[in-house]
Amino acid sequence: MKTPHSLEQPASTANTQAPGSAGRSCTWRTVAGSLMALALLAGSVAAAERPRVGLVLGGGGARGAAHIGVLEVLRENRVQIDCVAGTSMGGLVSGAFAAGLTPEEMMTAMGKANWRDMFSDSPAASDVNPRARNISRRYLPGSEVGINDKGANLLPGVVGGQKIKLFFNRLVHSEYGDPQIEQLNMPTTIVATDLVSGDKVALRKGSLTKAMRASMSVPGLMAPVESGGTLLVDGGLVDNVPIDEVRKSCNPDIVIAVNVGSPLLQAKQIGSLLSVAAQMVNILTEQNVTRSLATLKPTDIYIKPDLDGITAGDFERYAETAKRGREAALAVVEQLRKLDVGQPRYDQWWASVVPDRSSKPVVDTVEFAGLERVDANVLMPRYKKHLGQPLDTGKVETDVMRTFGDSEFDSVDYSLLTTREKNILRITPIEKEFGPNYLRFGLELETVAGRTADFNLRAAYHKTWINSLGAEWLTTVQVGHQPGIATEFYQPLDKEHRYFVEAAASYGRKPIGIYQDNKELATYNVDEARLALNAGINVGLLGPVRLGWIERQREASSETGTLALESASKRFGGWQASVFFDQFDRLYVPTEGWWAVGNYFNSPSEGYSRAELDLRAAGHFNDLIFLGRLYGAGAPSGTIPGYDPFKMGGFLNMSGFVRDQIIGSSVAYGSIRVEKIIGELPLGLRGDMRIGMALESGRVGGRFTETNLNGWQNNLAVYIGGETPLGPVYAAYGYAPNGMSNIFVYFGTP
């Protein structure tokens, strides 16, 4: 509680009184002072008579929204809280309450939160820097293995908690300064667990939002939080209803304890690895809750909402959950009414809890903390625009998520530090503990019932921050149906990573089938080696534009049948230019955004050029997704040779045909797709499942195979699938009116 301002008038004011008023003024000051003293004395007596109240809010994941309903009833009955302690979701609500948020404000924040997105660290693909985005598309999500002087290291959790931490920042109004627990006007304790020792850690000082994040770190799901050399995880493992901590905090006469923990699962509910893990956590939690509840006194108030049917992951049901918490509090309202301090005193107390938010501070300087490998000068251009401006957390969060999207950090946070001289916007990027070098893995499986089965497994070594400008070296080895090896060196030329040069070399083998009348007549292998040198520019977050030279060596050999295309051996080179703009929100199964990819190649020695343009767009209305694509390819000059043709066929690329079934010198293609979301992956896993239908039409000119297919070929595809931790997964049926059809099964990273 804030200390009342002194009622004694400054001596200097005596000189400002009108003549002859001194006696009257003195008399009135004496009377007023006496009355005020009596009021304060009465307040002191009332305070002495009022029992001290401690509030305990237990953990329970999404079930913790019930705490908000309890707080509503406490507020309606003017129950003054002297100290608060919480664990996990209870720690979140405790921290928000102590930071001056009303239950109404908490409900508004819960309603605005996209919980499913929040438990997926991945920013929208369009917010990831182009190079990181394109590399990620080749490999399995979350497949990184860090390589450093400590050896190989795996990801510490499915969810790093990046978006969750930013939500906490917004919740407690960090734009006015990073709230410190010890500076709150309500003594607050948030409970976490030391992951190494298993000991309870009672957080009573330091960053409030960091404590909230630590207390909610469910082991295995969310990465631990490092604090002072200690790894912190969910406090529910050791003290899910921290009654003893609130007693230590302010020695309350009465404790109000709210338990929202999940009950133990029944035998029939335990059937998966996740359910077994959940049950183990529930067992540990229930044991410490039982011990904690045993310490309650007859004068304490125990509230246990009926949350039957609501799980720890049901964040979308926050309104219903809060209502049940309110109902539970109303069941003990007669006990709560005995703690009513009256409206004036309650208002005075609450005013002391709410911090000053009258004006947003202006950012005087930006600084970075905790960087070792990454050069701060590379990050600074993104944040310069905040200098001299009132802190705009929305814009800061956008920049923070884009920094996180650079794929160099476990997390990126921000805080506002105010000193006597200036306001400091501090950006804290936590470099990946398991880097800076990585192993990455990818796989691809495509089967066409009764016809083909292709399987590829790839592994890559990715070395980052070779120099101060952030040079990278990536080498990939692939085994399977299309074996090969590729290596590339990427060198940014400026600190903003706008300009770059790159050198690449690759060697691979690709089988190609020769088809006529939907029958495979021959199969041959194409071995191709490539050397390329490019210079380019990254156009913001749109993507790169490249210009360079490529040298190619091609060898073709028959596997079955007779070699059908010209030139079994060919070496040629030429100039190449490309544009790769990708603004889809997801790597594989977009919901909204667009894509524009163009390639141009000119070979002076061979006397021809080839060009491709691929345009795609996606939009959604509720759970319906609409996608369109236009693709064209041909020869602006000369004639496309048989050793460098265009190909069509495969799932969503003329689905009535198998992959690369139609080969020719030009291509025109268009498709319209409609998808309906029918399910979403569990919290922590980004993606959904869809049913869809595609109408396709394509034409291949100058055909080398399927020479009888004249004009436009219409195709229909129906499918089910979506994005998973293994990349896209689809089962599909493709049909062409000429009687051609295929059943596809596909999963992996293309």
The DSSP string of 429-440 is EEE-TT-SEEEE
Continuous H helices in 581-631: none
Tell how many helices (H) and how many strands (E) occur in the chain.
Answer: 15, 31
Q: Which of 82, 88, 244, 314 is catalytic?
A: 88
Q: Is 741 a catalytic residue?
A: no
In Å, what is the CA distance from 327 to each residue of 262, 309, 396, 692? 18, 16, 39, 44
CA-based radius of gyration for the chain: 33
Nearest Cα to 512, choosing from 362, 354, 705?
Answer: 705
Decide if 171 contacts 101 (C-beta within 8 A).
yes
What the block records as the tokens of 458 is 């790839």
Residues 6+ apart with CB under 8 A from 30: none
Which is it for strands 452-463 and 472-480: parallel, antiparallel or unpaired? antiparallel
DSSP state of 370: S
Q: Is the peptide bond before 436 cis (omega within 30 degrees of 0)?
A: yes
- CA torsion sign, 262 to 266 to 267 to 268? negative
Which is it for strands 200-203 and 225-227: parallel, antiparallel or unpaired? unpaired
Continuous H helices in 331-392: 333-337, 343-353, 376-379
Q: What are phi and psi of 282, to 5 degrees?
A: -60, -40
Q: Pick left, alpha or beta for residue 196 (phi over 0 → left; psi -120 to 50 → alpha; otherwise beta).
A: alpha
Which is it for strands 188-194 and 83-87: parallel, antiparallel or unpaired? parallel
The secondary element (H helix, E strand) that includes residue 106 is helix 103-112
Distance separating alpha carbons of residues 617 and 626, to the nearest angstrom? 8
Distance separating alpha carbons of residues 449 and 745, to the nearest angstrom? 8
Decide if 422 contacts 365 (C-beta within 8 A).
yes
Nearest Cα to 65, choosing from 28, 32, 92, 36?
Answer: 92
Cβ atoms < 10 Å from Cβ of 415: 19
Q: How remote is the C-alpha of 156 from its chain's centroid? A: 15
Nearest Cα to 359, choosing from 384, 391, 336?
Answer: 391
Q: Is 234 a catalytic residue?
A: yes
Residue 364: exposed, middle, or buried by beta-carbon count in 10 A (0-12, 13-18, 19+)? Answer: middle
- Give the dihedral of Cα atoms 550, 555, 559, 561; nearest 10 deg: 100
Distance separating alpha carbons of residues 704 and 688, to the nearest angstrom? 40
- Give the dihedral of Cα atoms 118, 749, 631, 519; nearest 10 deg: -150
Q: Which of 82, 234, 244, 660 is catalytic?
A: 234
Active site residues: 88, 234
